[in-house]
Amino acid sequence: MPVTVEGSYVESVERVQPSQANNYGNAHGGEVVKLMDELAAIAAMGVAGETCVTAHIGSADFRSPIAVGDVIELSAYVYETGESSLQVRVDAEARDPRDTDLRRTTAACFTMVAVDDDGDPVPVPSVTADTERGRELVASAPC
């Protein structure tokens, strides 16, 4: 049974801690990608109904640094599926926690694969874009 693109949409909010920083007082790029990867897995597992693992991370575009203490708002959704794979778009925006002005910081596309308990790939349902919002998400998805 197909799942809607917008039905796969998930969000997460994190605050950058000093232990996540690089030498310049900003979130280390690897930390940001880790948060994005975790949210990509959550979006994918919601569609697949199975454990999903990362097979590929498309270009991760870092547009703006994220300072220690800033809030990162992440969003992810599945925009396409294959036999056992799921394409997930993940975006990160940041802001001062005392403010509401968000700035785009990072975007990447992840290929996740649904696996069984033995680690073997398993089939996944297709995703559909039945609404205007779903079609907009799909159109903006490719990284």
How do residues 46-75 score in pLDDT, each as one tens digit? 999 999 999 999 989 999 999 999 999 999
**Side chain identity at residue 113, one-letter code:** V
Residue 134 in domain = no
Q: If pLDDT is split at 50, 70 and 90, which confidence band does 39 have?
A: very high
User: Residue 114 in contact with residue 52, Cβ under 8 Å?
Assistant: yes
Residue 74 in domain = yes
Among the listed residues 7, 1, 2, the one whose alpha carbon sits nearest the alpha carbon of residue 134: 7
CA separation for the pair 66, 57 (Å, rounded): 20
Rounded to two decimals, the pTM is: 0.94
Residue 20 in domain = yes
Domain of residue 82: give its range.
Answer: 3-129
At 77-98, the pLDDT tens digits run 999 999 999 999 999 999 999 9
**Side chain identity at residue 89, one-letter code:** R
Residue 58 in domain = yes
Residue 143 in domain = no
Q: Output Rg (C-alpha) for the chain, integer angstroms.
A: 16
What is the tally of structural domains in the chain? 1
What CATH code is carried by the domain that includes residue 71?
Answer: 3.10.129.10
Q: What's the N-to-C CA distance of the chain in angstroms?
A: 27
